[in-house]
A and B are shown apart, each in its own frame.
Chain A
Amino acid sequence: MSHIFINQFKICLKKKSLIFWTLIFPIALGTFFNLAFSNIDESEKFKTIDIAVVNNEKFNENESFKELIRALSTDEEIFNPQYVNLEEAKSLLDNNKIKGYILLEEKIKVFVKENGLSQTIIKSVVDNFYQVGSAVNHIILDKQNLKNLVMEDLNRNYFKDVSNEKVSSIVTYFYTLIGMACLYGGVFGIKAVIDSESNLSKKAARVNVSPVHKFKLLLVSLVVALIIQFTENLILLGYLINILKIDFGNQTLPLIILAGAGSFAGISMGVLIGLSNKKSEDTKVGILMSVTMALSFLAGMMIKNMRELVDKNIPILGQINPVSMITKALYSLYYYDDLNIYFQNLFSLIIFTFVMITISYIILRRKKYDSI
């Protein structure tokens, strides 16, 4: 068996198309995603708002407001204030150096040039100060509490969809990419089947007339496939984590187990596709690619919210989609502290693999064929 094992290893590693689809293509696609989506993530991040505060007598007298601006700029990094005179503040606003400026007179006034989230936040801070901050001078309200009350309002109204969310919006694309790469491992499964079923190739016929049991040969080929695919998945994960700096959480062992289970699922799907028809190897690979792409699309590879849409409208499709299972498991490792969702999806993936193998085994039990 070691003879077959070594040679199958050599054959798989030398077959450029296999390595392309299972390693090079996912790495290239990951790099492309990184280039294409990193700006999206950046644009969705909250940026500190440049403001000016007119440094006049009224401002210097209002300790509470001074402290609030300081706290919002140093503790929370919401504002980047410049303390200037009125003329300078006007000039900064005219030249678009700031989003707005605050002038303390009898009342506190906010001056802006245009409307937007930043301007609304400046106004909101001032409004909040009026509502709760004025009390500071009359009742004993801790200055820290004032900031907390203002922040609470800001978080509730403005930041809940962005900075309060732990998840980077682009990681889903990379998680589906891992799912896709796992299923692309199916090309190894297709190859293993073609090389062992005599109605699919003459090489297999040659093996089937030899004293080697075809199941042994297939098993060796699949072990080789699993080792290569698993290694490639680890390389891909290493590339995404270390080079592209994609966050996969910090639970290494579950991540490795998922990479292994995903590899197995992909290869088993390839075996079934290989056995399902008598078309050429290229056609079988084409079918695998198309099915994987469709499953990856439904798992959110091209549209971020697709997986949620599928789960909401056609939940069964989400439950039987191996790319979704892998994506959800990776997401859970990243987002949740406990492993419940991870194990649910890992278990689903194992059931999927079991179903693929069972159907394949039923087909593979044939020892002779009606035609070859």
Chain B
Amino acid sequence: MNNIIEVKKLNKKYKNLQAVKDLSFTVKEKEILGLLGPNGSGKTTTINCILSLLNFDSGEIKILGEKMTPEAYDIKRQIGVVFQDVAVFDELTVYENINYFCGLYIKDKEERRKYVEEAIDLVRLNEFKDFPPKKLSGGLLRRLNIACGIAHKPKIIFLDEPTVAVDPQSRNNILEGIKKLNQDGATIIYTTHYMEEVEILCDRIIILDKGEIIASGTAKELKELTNIEEKVTVEVDDLSIDIINELNKFKNIDEVIYDGHILYITFKKGKDNLLNLIEFMKDNKIKYNKFFSELPTLNDVFLELTGKELRD
């Protein structure tokens, strides 16, 4: 696959704050690349530099093989952007807003009408197309914001935290819509601090912290970076100190926490962790209600790499 976007040694400073540091990455054609990081990690700044909205101190940015500049109108024609903040006109209806922004790219009225209708279908705003934005809920507004950014069917779509403060139903609609756009051939750059979303959506993930790439790869590859095998949660009452001490001596054990009702155990890499735990409980006649295990998340990766949680 071709590289659609190439970023080399990008550096951007806001006064004394290094917002982006030596950032280099590529985005391949038709892939969904996730930029994952906490607030202030440099995701939006990176996007704005790529879009030539922001000055940057050094580095090189190419889109579709050409250097990206504010006058690169041929490149801009291929791009769609959904900003973090809702950017629509309160004075226009849902349909008129999408039509207005689509009209910046598509001149032909009939073609535009078709594109606008398809965008409305995609974000499922059919019932609301004559509504002014002020009458839409937060989730519907976000969907309108997306439709305004993608109605002209761009080849490359930048989505900057499009699901912030969105209800679960709207979030699912949005994620489904993004998958559909990708299936239709769009290359997508998706920034978020929700690890679940990048896991569901992205082919490849770049984890950013303080403007630097701290890890990149597929979700599976990233999870392999952590030393955690699995995390086990057991609902159990009246565990004695002796039992807790015994658990702490277990093979591959990383951490044991007991709050008097729930037992949390984290296992490092190793085999038969769950089997050994179940046998231990059976041998010690420990009765439990619920028992479940989960694999490490991207948050665990982030925690291990930076010492802090993604949402800190």
Contacts and interface: CB of A to CB of B under 8 A. Distances in A.
Bound together: yes
Interface of A: 3-4, 7, 10-11, 14-15, 198, 201-203, 205-213, 367-372
B87 A203 contact: yes
Interface stretch (B29-37, B77-85, B259-267, B278-286): B77-85
Given A209-B79, A211-B76, A7 B55 contact: no
B52 interface: yes
Nearest to B78: A211
B292 interface: no
Given A203-B88, A211-B74, 19 more contacts: A3-B100, A3-B107, A4-B100, A10-B92, A11-B92, A202-B83, A203-B89, A205-B53, A209-B76, A209-B79, A209-B81, A210-B76, A211-B73, A211-B105, A213-B73, A368-B55, A369-B55, A371-B14, A371-B54
Contacts of A3: 100, 103, 107
B149 interface: yes
Given A211-B77, A368-B53, A372-B54, A206 B96 contact: no
Contacts of B48: 205, 372
A10 B88 CA distance: 14
A209 B51 contact: yes
A108 B285 CA distance: 137
A97 B125 CA distance: 79
Interface in B60-83: 70-71, 73-74, 76-77, 79, 81, 83
A202 B55 contact: no
A14 B53 CA distance: 29
B70 A207 contact: no
Interface string B137-166: 000000000001100000000000000000
B88 to A, nearest CB: 7
Contact of A15 (B53, B55, B91): B91
Contacts of B71: 367
B241 interface: no
Given A7-B92, A367-B70, A206 B101 contact: yes
A203 B86 CA distance: 8
A368 B70 contact: yes
B104 interface: yes
A15 B91 CA distance: 6
Contacts of A211: 73-74, 76-77, 104-105
A14 B91 contact: yes
5 contacts: A11-B89, A205-B87, A368-B54, A368-B55, A372-B48
Q: Is the interface of B mostly helix, strand, loop or mixed?
A: loop
Interface of B: 14, 48, 51-55, 70-71, 73-74, 76-77, 79, 81, 83, 85-89, 91-92, 96, 99-101, 103-105, 107, 148-149
A10 B96 CA distance: 10
Contacts of A198: 53
Contacts of A14: 91-92
A3 B14 CA distance: 37
A10 to B, nearest CB: 7
Contacts of B89: 11, 203
B149 A202 contact: no
B103 to A, nearest CB: 4
A370 B55 contact: yes
Nearest to B106: A3
A369 B100 contact: no
A276 to B, nearest CB: 20
B91 A11 contact: yes
Contacts of A15: 91
B105 A210 contact: yes
A206 B148 contact: yes
A210 B52 contact: no
Contact of B104 (A201, A212, A368): A212
Nearest to B53: A198
Contacts of A212: 104
Contacts of B101: 206, 210
B53 A210 contact: no
A202 to B, nearest CB: 3
Given A206-B101, A209-B53, A7 B96 contact: yes
Interface-central residue, A10, A209, A368, A371, by most chain B CB under 10 Å: A209
A208 B70 contact: yes
A165 to B, nearest CB: 48
Contacts of B79: 209
Nearest to B84: A202
Contact of B87 (A11, A206, A370, A371): A206
B87 A201 contact: yes
A221 to B, nearest CB: 12
Interface-central residue, A10, A201, A203, by most chain B CB under 10 Å: A203
A207 B91 contact: no
Contacts of B88: 203
A207 B76 CA distance: 10
Contacts of A369: 53-55
A370 B17 CA distance: 13
B54 A210 contact: no
A147 to B, nearest CB: 67
A203 B81 CA distance: 11
A206 B81 contact: yes
A6 B8 CA distance: 42
Contact of B83 (A7, A10, A205): A205
Nearest to B76: A211
B103 A7 contact: yes
A207 B104 contact: yes
Given A209-B53, A372-B54, A4 B87 contact: no
B14 A10 contact: no
A4 B148 contact: no
B52 A368 contact: yes
Contacts of B87: 201-203, 205-206
A203 B104 CA distance: 12
A209 B73 CA distance: 9
A202 B76 contact: no
Interface-central residue, A10, A208, A211, by most chain B CB under 10 Å: A211
Contacts of B77: 211
